[in-house]
Amino acid sequence: MAAQSKIPQATAKRLPLYYRFLNNLQVQGKSRVSSKELSEAVKVDSATIRRDFSYFGALGKKGYGYNVEYLLGFFRKTLDQDETTYVALIGVGNLGTAFLHYNFTKNNNTRIEMAFDADPNKVGQEIGGVPVYHIDDLEERINHVQAAILTVPGAEAQTITERLMESGITGILNFTPARITVPEEVRVHHIDLAVELQSLIYFMKHYPLEIEE
Ligand SMILES: NC(=O)c1ccc[n+]([C@@H]2O[C@H](COP(=O)([O-])OP(=O)(O)OC[C@H]3O[C@@H](n4cnc5c(N)ncnc54)[C@H](O)[C@@H]3O)[C@@H](O)[C@H]2O)c1
């Protein structure tokens, strides 16, 4: 998409954050928002917000702020919110089950369409409205799915990744501690709560937030 390719990656990463907040504002019937209000809600400084929004062609007016509807329209297009992206979840354990219960469709058009597990006790169940299939049936079932969430034990991650690649999956959200190897055209986002927690504590210690008088 032309508009999207002009947006720096750091800005693109903040899009879902902005989208979620603005969507809530619209639900509450608000038609405009100031960069200060946004900044407080999404915890991004207002100079960054103004710069980000200038890439979207949204110029805030002094004393008026930004037009919520315009921004949402832009974000929907950029994030492909008008089109549903189907996602599969692999590994219906503690973490996987929690994700299935969380309703992703509330704020955008990303849907966990199916889940897979190797445990026969889990196969055949429906969790949070999502059917759980046997991992042996992956190739047969997964045809229109574009992305996968990996919540299997780390030791299983690479083998499953290879099967996902063979099935045409081009994005993986990897919650396992394993560093998976993928071809260049496949995007992997690795989420490690231990690293995130360490980083939070580091910032709390070294960059304490100042309270304005
Ligand atoms: N990223 C994080 O912050 C974070 C936090 C907690 C756990 N984890 C990781 O997430 C993963 C899941 O954690 P959990 O606590 O839910 O574990 P869990 O043991 O509860 O769940 C793992 C599930 O994967 C299934 N499974 C095993 N082998 C499989 C295979 N070959 N194919 C399909 N399914 C298979 C199991 O039957 C089980 O249901 C682990 O790798 C764990 O280290 C990550």
Percent of the chain with pLDDT strictly greater than 70: 89
Domain extents in the chain: 2-75, 85-195
Distance 176 CA to ligand 1 centre (A): 7
Which among 153, 99, 175, 184 is positioned nearest to 135, based on CA atoms? 153
pLDDT band at 75 (very low <50, low <70, confident <90, very high): confident
Q: Which CATH architecture has domain 85-195?
A: 3-Layer(aba) Sandwich (3.40)
- What number does the ligand 1 atom closest to the CA of 152 have? 24
Among 1.10.260.40, 2.102.10.10, 3.40.190.10, 1.10.10.10, name the CATH number for the domain at 2-75.
1.10.10.10
Distance 200 CA to ligand 1 centre (A): 24
**Distance between first and last Cα of the chain:** 45
CA atoms of 161 and 170, how far apart (whole Å):
10
Considering the chain, what is the average pLDDT of its residues?
88
Which among 110, 13, 20, 11 is positioned nearest to 58, based on CA atoms? 11
Nearest CA, atom 3, ligand 1: 193
Ligand 1 is surrounded, with C-beta below 6 A, by: 90-96, 116-119, 122, 135, 151-154, 156, 160, 175-177, 191-193
What are 191-203's pLDDT values in tens digits? Answer: 998 888 998 898 8
Strands 32-33 and 130-134: unpaired
* Most informative mutation of 139, 173, 175, 199 for ligand 1 (most atoms within 8 A of CB): 175
| Whether residue 213 has pLDDT greater than 70 | no
Q: What is the ipTM of this complex?
A: 0.96
- What number does the ligand 1 atom closest to the CA of 94 have? 16
Distance 89 CA to ligand 1 centre (A): 11
Mean pLDDT of 53-80: 80
SS3 state of residue 113: strand
Distance 97 CA to ligand 1 centre (A): 10
What size, in residues, is the chain? 213
Distance 178 CA to ligand 1 centre (A): 11
27: left (phi over 0), alpha (psi -120 to 50) or beta: alpha
Q: What residues contact residue 171 under an 8 Å CB cut-off, 6+ apart? A: 146, 147, 148, 186, 187, 188, 189
Q: What residues contact residue 132 under an 8 Å CB cut-off, 6+ apart? A: 92, 114, 115, 116, 117, 122, 123, 124, 125, 126
pTM over the 0.80 mark: no
CA atoms of 48 and 142, how far apart (whole Å):
39
pLDDT band at 2 (very low <50, low <70, confident <90, very high): very low
